[in-house]
Each structure stands twice: as structure tokens, then as C-alpha cells.
Amino acid sequence: MTSSAPTTKSAAPELLRELAGVLPAANVLSRPSELLPYECDGLSAYRQRPMVVVLPETVEQVARILAICRRRGLPVVARGAGTGLSGGALPLVEGVLMVLAKFNRILELDPVRRTARVQPGVRNLAISEAAAPHGLYYAPDPSSQIACSIGGNVAENSGGVHCLKYGLTVHNILKLEVVTIDGDRLTLGSNAPDSPGYDMMAAMTGSEGLLGIVVEITVRLLPLPTHTSLVLAAFDDVESAGAAVGGVIAAGIIPAGLEMMDNFAIRATEDFAHCGYPVDAEAILLCEVDGTAEDTREQLQRVAAVMREHGATEVRVARDEAERLLFWKGRKMAFPAMGRISPDYYCIDGTIPRDQLPRVLGKMKEWSAEFGLRVANVFHAGDGNLHPLILYDANQPGELERTEAFAGKILDLCVEVGGTITGEHGVGVEKINQMCTQFASDELEQFHALKEAFDPRGLLNPGKAVPTLQRCAEFGAMHVHRGELPFPELERF
Amino acid sequence: MRDADQSAALRDQVAAAHAAGGSLEICGGGSKRFYGRESDTPGPVLETVGHRGVVHYAPTELVVTARAGTPIREINAVLSENGQQLPFEPPELDGDATVGGTLAAAFSGPARPWCGAVRDHVLGTRVINGRGKLLRFGGEVMKNVAGYDVSRLMVGAMGTLGLVLEASLKVLPKPEREVTLAFHMERSDALVFMNGLGDRPLPLTGAVFHGGIVYLRLAGSAAAVSVAMSELSGEELPSSDAIWRSLREFEHPFFDTKLPVWRIALPALAEPELPGEVLIDWGGGQWWLRSDAPVATIRDPVSALGGHATLFRGGDRGGEVFHPLPPAMAALQERIRRAFDPAGVFNPGRMVAVAG
Ligand SMILES: Cc1cc2nc3c(=O)[nH]c(=O)nc-3n(C[C@H](O)[C@H](O)[C@H](O)COP(=O)(O)OP(=O)(O)OC[C@H]3O[C@@H](n4cnc5c(N)ncnc54)[C@H](O)[C@@H]3O)c2cc1C
């Protein structure tokens, strides 16, 4: 991470003229004041002013802008709502930032076949809102769902609180319309259960804007569950709570959501959201079950029993819908609550096998003391997807660097215990070095080869998601991958 | 057969073929030899059945990792002991179906529309690419977005993107209770009925129409199943499992034919006129057709409705058994294939005819 003052470059007048031939003048931004809001995404420690911002409104315009960029050899970065947490939509100094926010229409909602065809700039929550009158919803629900775009969700393969049972974005989308850098308009997937040829939906989902511009998405809608109940269980120590997570699964229950918060997060949230959390608990678990009335009742009893078996000091079942929403409110407000008690926080996104929860949480506590930085844990425990929030103050010299070092240690530990450096936020620019820890050079080369099949000249979001071997060689001087010396074939510096 | 890790030997064979400019036919248990195109230039067989065994199974992690040659039947047995199962219900094919072949051919059973397909349960793979490099993608955790999703891309690629050495698959608890209900009705009504079941959360894991009867499988907690039963009425079959097993294993009398068998994937409620007898599975999403009618009379009406038709078994195996792709898409997929296997080592022509 480097938060040095961004260099800037102004767009050549001929480029602006060419773009103005494709777009209304108001949709081409190049004055510094206009560019400012696009300097960063949700990861604000990285900033870079783009050369120019374009806001296309039609697929035709997207294709023509890409043609201009291709001809001029200009890199293109796509941006949805800019809520990404890994710098995926960070502009490039000599690049075009293509903002898809104006693609904000739901094109078709078919309540009979339970699908919705939407433009990429549509907000995640807007789909469920439009589907609600038909008793339907779109299942993946990132905490950022009021703001983030479905196009961004596809690019990041976003998850949410309910993905343990209902899957990630990749499990809930049927079809994509994509414009490639070569100007081809492709249909990936279909409204049928599958498509001939390779699984292109798999390649595109989670590709962080490196393979093509997604201009239309058909999502699958699900019937709203008729009954939903929430259990809040409090624990004296984090380890027991971690063990209870495995216990629920071992009991054969797949909860709709299973979230954990540690004491620090509980206190901060309670002060802010007043949702009735037990502030003395070392950890709480929020476990949601859904289904038919009978099913829910039965699962609820079993979940409560498992929690007690694992030493829960208190087990509360939300009395009604209002209390259920109140318990969730705390969870959803946890991030803003942290923002209130610390000038800055840094959110990490590693995933680990569930049985490693106690060990990894224990290590984090230890390191927190070592680095002198507070950590709050609020995360998708059911999936083993950690979101430690390291609290820091960017204005204190050295704190950001210490935070990064701490975060790097946590991510390395995630890989070491058999997990991954990112469960749902993506690699972007943020975790590009950690990619060298998780993958060997042959694997990275394979990623680059796949990218080349889509984008031979590397114009789409270059420098993100997959590090060059060169970069890893430099970074690798400090890291050893799976016990081997990395990149023996490359020259050392 | 004993568990063994033959990764190194397999890698050496691939690397040797790559160096010599040769090709290889990947073969697991041989249960799906009938499927896909006949190779244009059949090379020597690369056997994976010796590379077998469950590498890691952690019931509370909901994941099983097994080598390519491990029979699906063996995985099912191991999971069953812990009250779990592969949710996508792949066929065992007399015990010959292996993990590798199941991924390559992407065969999912009757539960697919409700529980997901093979690709939905793949968490990670180890593969050997056409350059003879041993690679690992994804892992054993539920959520992982580091790098492109190469593991899922392997599913349905018929081995043409690489040799899958090992796969980590998401597993789920077995349902407490399963029942099968039968309903008599006409085909058009059946399509509407089956589609409409998705309007509310029912514990449904199968919906098939054949011979004027819709069969539904309900599976879940005992409480949920009995409520759904009384809501739906319908006539309960004495053996709940028989019909689903026969569909999954292609042992249903429908498949007992000398005619070519087509697999047709369609959007909900689509009802093409097809030249032959059909069996409709996946609540209307997957149609089976027995027919030796000309290809165009089958593919044209299916394409028009947004579906695709695969010549599943029999017929002209040297032709385009998979639904042809639009030119730009075909070109991109060929570039993807080359990105994994530049020299064309794996199964040349098994998916599409080798170019030029
Ligand atoms: C408070 C908060 C909570 C969050 N909670 C969650 C959570 O629970 N789960 C989760 O998964 N994420 C979460 N996120 C992260 C973020 O919201 C998601 O990654 C989201 O999907 C990003 O969508 P966006 O529209 O903001 O995309 P952007 O940030 O604009 O872009 C993200 C990436 O997608 C690419 N992209 C965008 N649109 C397109 C397109 N049309 N075609 C091709 N590429 C495109 C960009 O180039 C970039 O690489 C959270 C973020 C915040 C700030």
C-alpha cells in the first residue's frame, strides 16, 4: 500500500474530442474537481486521479469507448458504485475510468420464471426491493447492499450474510452480456440450467474487471422464506463460540446465516446502535434459520441446544420480527460503529477452515498486543470468512505501515492454515503481494494466459488482481512460498 | 484397488507428451466413454483410476477432497457414514464413475435445480495443464476469490483444459426424510405445475414428468416434508428412491433404446415441439429426447427458445455433439483452451472438432 500523493496526467485534447463524439459532453469528466470523487473506492488509503472519467449509458457507447481505448492503447478501469474494499476500481494515472452508474435500470422482472434482467449499475438491494411484491428476492446480500452495484458484485463474486445456505453471486446469476476489449458482444450463460462449451460464467464471475465489461446481468430470484428466526448466543470466550460454529454444522444444520462478533465489536456496536447486545460477553453468535414454520421451530431448538452444549452463557431467541431486525441491525452497523471510535480502520477478508477459528483468533489477539493496534472481529463465521478490523490513525506516523504489516501477517496465517487471502472482497491492488504467497509462479502464469485469451494487450484493469512474476520476485525476496524459494528461474535483484 | 498418489507419474506423462508434440486421451473409470465427440486423432490413454483415494474429509467443514480416480460410489459411502452427501447427486454408473470424470463431464443428478450442479460444489482443484505443470486453484474453504475461478472452469471442459488431479467438493447433510409423490396430468399443465412449485420455499429435490405423470421428491426435515405432503396431496410412492436412482444412473426404461439420446437444456416453461419421445426432468429445465431425426429439427426449435441440445448418446459421434457456439464465442473458447493446453495434448476434438 502506498498512499503517497497521486501523480496526475491530463487527458489529451484529441482524446476528449473523440470521447465527446461518442458521449454527451456531461458524461465525459476531465476537470480536476470533477475527477476528485473518483479518486478511490471503498479502500480510501489508495488514491489516484484518473485521466478522464466516462459515464456511458448504452451498450453501444461502451463498445465505442472501448474501441477508442483499444486504438490508443489506453487502459480502462470499470467502476460500479465504488464500494469495493480492495482497490479494484482504483483509477490508473494514464487510464480511462468507465463508470457504469448510469446503467441503472431493471430491464425485466419475470415473477413467473423468477428471474430479473438488470443493468450493471443497479444497486444490489434494488433488485430485492423490486422483487418483493412478488414474494421473491435476490439472495446474495453484501452488507454494502444499499449502495453496491450488481455489476460490481459479479466482478467480485460478492457474498453476504446468507451465502452459507444460498451461495455467492456465482451461484445466483444465470446470464451475462459482456463487451470485450475487442468489441465483441458476448452472451455468457443462459436462462437454461447450463450452456454449451466452457463455463464462461465461472471465468467472468470474480474476475475484477480484467476480462470484459459486464453490461447486463440476469439473476435468479428465490421465494422469500415464510419463516425466519434468529438466535443470539453469548459466550465467555471466543474459542467456545468458534467451537459452537462447528457444532451447529455437525448437528446437520445449515443456518441461513451464522455470524460472530467479539467483545470489542459488541461494545462499539451497542454504543452506536443500541440493539440490546450483552456487552459483557466475550463473543456472540447470531444464527438465523429459515424455512417453513415447523422446520424453523425445530431447527431453532436444535441450534439453542448446540449453543448451550458449547457453553453459551445466554441464549436468546428473537421474540418477533422487530427484535430479529434489531439484532441484525447491530451486525450491519458494526462497520460504521468502528468508524466512530477510531479515525481509520482497515478491514481484512481472509477465509479459513472453520476448525481453525479458535487458533487464528487467538493469534490475532497476541499480535494485536505486539503491534499495539486494536482489532475488532465481526465476521461470517459459518463460512470461516474473517473480517478483522484493525483500528488505526492514518495521521499518526507509522500507524498505517504497522497496520499493513499486521494485516499481512494475518493473511499469511490464513494461507498457512489452509485458507485464502480473500473470501469476498477481491485482490484488487490491495492484496496483490499476498497473491505471491498463495500462488506459485506456474499458477500465476496460468492466470495471465487466461487473461490474454480475453484481453491480449492487457488493457482492462491492468496491474490488479494478478501480480506479474517480476513483482512477486521482488516481493518474494522477503517471502517463501510453501517452503520453496519462489521463482528460482527469475534473476534476483 | 489401493489408494495411491500418482501425481508425479501423471505429470511426467503429460510433460513427455507435450515435449513430443503428442496427445493423450484422459480416461478415468471409462463410464462416460459414450459421451462427447469421438477424438479426431486418438492418442494413447492416460489412466487416472490408479490415482485414487479420499485425501481429506472433515464433516464439520462440509468438504471432501479426493483424487481424480476415486469412484463416486466410494465417496458416497464415506459421506453416508457421516450422514452427509454430495448435493448434486452425480451418477455412480456401476461404480465406474470417478471424481475426475464427474467434473469433466459435469453430470448432475435430479436434485440439480434445487441443490445446485457439479460446478456449484467445486471449491478447489489440483490440475496438470497442457504444459505438464502441476497447479492448484481454490481450496477447501467455502469462499475464495483469489485469482480467476479456474476450478469451476474445469467443470464440463471434458478434460480439454487440463487433467483434474484432485477436487475439493462441498458436501451437505443428508435429509432426514424423503418421499416421492405422483400426480397425473398433461404435459403443458405439468410444466406450469413444476415451475410454480418454485414460488414458495418447499423442501423439493426432484420434479420429473414422464408418461402423463409428474413425480416430485420432497426431502428435508421430517416436519417440513410432512407439511409439504399434506399441502401438495398427490399419491405417495411405496419406494421413494427407485425413480430418482433410475434417472440418475440412466437406468430408467426411457434410456433403454437403440435410438440416439439427446439432452436438452431449456429455460423454465419452454415447450418445444420435438421429433420423438421425451422425458422431462429438472422441473422442466432438462429434457431427454429419443430421436434419430435430423439435427436441425432438434436444435432449431431449442435454440429459438434459448436452450441448447447435446447429442448425449449414440448418433454421429464425429459430428457436433455439443450445441455449436456463435463464432466470437467459439473463437474465445478456443483461445482459452490454448491458454491451458497450447499444444493440444488433452483429448483433441472431444468437445469440438480440432480446427483446420
Ligand atoms: C461497508 C461495506 C460493507 C461491505 N460488505 C460486503 C459484504 O458483506 N460482502 C462482500 O462480498 N463485499 C462487501 N463489501 C465490498 C463491496 O461492496 C463489494 O465488493 C461490491 O460488490 C462492490 O460493488 P461496487 O459496485 O461498489 O463495485 P466497485 O467498487 O465500483 O468495483 C469493484 C470491482 O468491479 C469491477 N467492476 C465494476 N463494475 C463492473 C462491470 N460492470 N463490468 C466489469 N467490471 C466491473 C471494478 O473494475 C472493480 O474491479 C462491502 C463494502 C463496504 C464499503
Same domain, B144 and B69: yes
Which residues on B lie below 8 Å from A298 (Cβ)? 221, 223
Task: Please indicate if any CB of chain A lies within 8 Å of the CB of B325.
Answer: yes
> B133 and A446: CB-CB below 8 Å?
yes
* Residue B338 · residue B144 · CB < 8 Å: no
Reduced to 3 states (helix: H, G, I; strand: E, B; else coil), residue A278 is coil
> B145 and A427: CB-CB below 8 Å?
yes
C-alpha cell at B340: 491451458
Q: Could you give the CA distance from residue A477 to residue A460 in angstroms, rounded to a whole number?
A: 29
Is B329 a member of any domain? no
Name the closest-CA residue to atom 28, ligand 1: A82
Read off the amino acid at residue A233. A
Confidence category of residue A488, pLDDT binned at 50, 70, 90? very low
C-alpha cell at A173: 446469476
Range scoring the smallest mean pLDDT among A1-5, A136-140, B1-5 = A1-5
C-alpha cell at A205: 464471475
> B146 and A431: CB-CB below 8 Å?
yes
**Residue-wise pLDDT tens digits, A307-339:** 999 999 999 999 999 999 999 999 988 888 888
Q: Could you give the CA distance from residue B297 to residue B276 in angstroms, rounded to a whole number?
A: 11
Reduced to 3 states (helix: H, G, I; strand: E, B; else coil), residue B340 is helix
Q: How far is the CA of B349 from the centre of ligand 1 (A)?
A: 39
> A291 and B140: CB-CB below 8 Å?
no
The yes-or-no verdict on residue A489 having pLDDT over 60 is: no
Q: Which residue of A has its CA nearest to B136?
A: A443
Same domain, B25 and B60: yes
Chain A, window 70-129: residues with a beta carbon less than 8 angstroms from a chain B beta carbon: 112-114
From A41, A43, A66, A85, the mutation candidate for ligand 1 (largest count of ligand atoms within 8 A of CB) is A85
Same domain, B181 and B169: no
Domain-ending residue, one of B214, B248, B282: B248
> What b/e sequence results for B231-268 when a residue is b if at least 16 CB atoms lie within 10 Å of its CB, and e otherwise?
eeebeebeebeebbbebbebebebbeeeebbbbbbbbb
Is B322 a member of any domain? no
| Direct distance between the N- and C-terminal alpha carbons of chain A, in angstroms, rounded to an integer | 21
The pTM for the full model equals 0.96
Is B217 a member of any domain? yes
The yes-or-no verdict on residue A481 having pLDDT over 80 is: no
Please report the number of interchain residue pairs, chain A to chain B, with beta-carbon separation below 8 angstroms. Answer: 255
Is B83 a member of any domain? yes
Range scoring the smallest mean pLDDT among A105-119, A185-199, A317-331, B90-104 = A317-331
Task: Please indicate if any CB of chain A lies within 8 Å of the CB of B219.
Answer: no
Per-residue pLDDT of chain B (356 residues; tens, 9 = 90+): 799 999 999 999 999 999 999 999 999 999 999 999 997 777 899 999 999 999 999 999 999 999 999 999 999 999 999 999 999 999 999 999 999 999 999 999 999 999 999 999 999 999 999 999 999 999 999 999 999 999 999 999 999 999 999 999 999 999 999 999 999 999 999 999 999 999 998 999 999 999 999 999 999 989 899 999 999 999 999 988 999 999 999 999 999 999 999 999 999 999 999 999 999 999 999 999 999 999 999 999 999 999 999 999 999 999 999 999 999 999 999 999 999 999 999 999 999 998 76
Query: Phi then psi for A238, rounded to 5 degrees?
Result: -65, -35
Query: Phi then psi for B24, rounded to 5 degrees?
Result: -135, 145
Task: Please indicate if any CB of chain B lies within 8 Å of the CB of A417.
Answer: no
How would you classify the pairing of strands A213-220 and A283-291?
Answer: unpaired
Q: How far is the CA of A148 from the centre of ligand 1 (A)?
A: 6
C-alpha cell at A122: 443497479
Is B327 a member of any domain? no
Q: Which domains does chain A have, with CATH numbers?
A: 13-99 (3.30.43.10), 106-223 (3.30.465.10), 227-337 (3.30.70.2190), 342-492 (3.30.70.2740)
C-alpha cell at A455: 484481453
**Phi-psi category of A211—alpha, beta or left, where left has phi over 0 and alpha has psi -120 to 50?**
alpha
How many degrees, rounded to 5, is the angle at CA B144 between CA B138 and CA B147?
65
Residue B63: exposure state from Cβ atoms within 10 A (0-12, 13-18, ≥19): buried
The yes-or-no verdict on residue A467 having pLDDT over 90 is: yes
Same domain, B13 and B160: yes
> For ligand 1, is residue A149 a contact (CB within 6 Å)?
yes
Residues pairing with A118 in the sheet: A106, A217
Reduced to 3 states (helix: H, G, I; strand: E, B; else coil), residue B15 is helix
Chain A, window 363-392: residues with a beta carbon less than 8 angstroms from a chain B beta carbon: 380, 383-385
Read off the amino acid at residue A150. I
Q: Could you give the CA distance from residue A321 to residue B15 in angstroms, rounded to a whole number?
A: 61
Domain count along chain B: 3
Same domain, B26 and B123: yes
Mean pLDDT of A157-169: 94
Same domain, B69 and B122: yes
Residue A304 C-alpha from the chain's centroid: 31
Tell me the CATH number at B126.
Answer: 3.30.465.10
The yes-or-no verdict on residue A120 having pLDDT over 60 is: yes
Is B328 a member of any domain? no
> For ligand 1, is residue A242 a contact (CB within 6 Å)?
no
Closest partner residue to A250 (CB to CB) among B60, B139, B201 is: B60
Q: Could you give the CA distance from residue B70 to residue B104 in angstroms, rounded to a whole number?
A: 14
> What b/e sequence results for A206-243 when a residue is b if at least 16 CB atoms lie within 10 Å of its CB, and e otherwise?
bbbbbbbbbbbbbbbbbbbbebbbbbbbbbebbbbbbb
Tell me the CATH number at B215.
Answer: 3.30.70
Which residues on A lie below 8 Å from B285 (Cβ)? 192-193
Domain-ending residue, one of B128, B154, B173: B173
Which residues on A lie below 8 Å from B60 (Cβ)? 246-247, 249-250, 354-355
Task: Please indicate if any CB of chain A lies within 8 Å of the CB of B353.
Answer: no
Residue-level pLDDT at A336? 83
Q: Could you give the CA distance from residue B58 to residue B62 in angstroms, rounded to a whole number?
A: 6
Same domain, B232 and B262: no
Same domain, B24 and B160: yes
Residue-level pLDDT at A484? 47
Q: What is the ipTM of this complex?
A: 0.97
C-alpha cell at A139: 439472495
Q: How far is the CA of B51 from the centre of ligand 1 (A)?
A: 40
C-alpha cell at B216: 416430485
How would you classify the pairing of strands B25-27 and B45-47?
Answer: parallel
* Residue A421 · residue A347 · CB < 8 Å: no
Which residues on B lie below 8 Å from A168 (Cβ)? 143
Is B32 a member of any domain? yes
Q: Which residue of A has its CA nearest to B227?
A: A294
Same domain, B169 and B184: no
Residue-level pLDDT at A453? 98
Same domain, B12 and B72: yes
Q: Which residue of A has its CA nearest to B224?
A: A295
Same domain, B233 and B271: no
Render A34-83 in DSSP notation, one character per residue: HHGGGS--S-TT-----SEEE---SHHHHHHHHHHHHHHT--EEEESSS-
Residue-level pLDDT at A477? 53
The yes-or-no verdict on residue A6 having pLDDT over 80 is: no
Name the closest-CA residue to atom 35, ligand 1: A209
> For ligand 1, is residue A101 a contact (CB within 6 Å)?
no
The yes-or-no verdict on residue A304 having pLDDT over 70 is: yes
Read off the amino acid at residue A434. Q
Same domain, B169 and B185: no
Domain-ending residue, one of B173, B206, B227: B173
Task: Please indicate if any CB of chain B lies within 8 Å of the CB of A191.
Answer: yes
Disruptive mutation site among B115, B143, B161 for chain A (greatest number of A CBs within 10 Å): B143
Is B238 a member of any domain? yes
Cα of B66 to nearest chain A Cα, Å: 16
Range of the domain at B275: 253-313
Residues with Cβ within 8 Å of A26's Cβ and at least 6 positions away in sequence, in order, are none
Confidence category of residue A340, pLDDT binned at 50, 70, 90? confident
Task: Please indicate if any CB of chain B lies within 8 Å of the CB of A309.
Answer: no
| Direct distance between the N- and C-terminal alpha carbons of chain B, in angstroms, rounded to an integer | 42
Cα of B176 to nearest chain A Cα, Å: 10
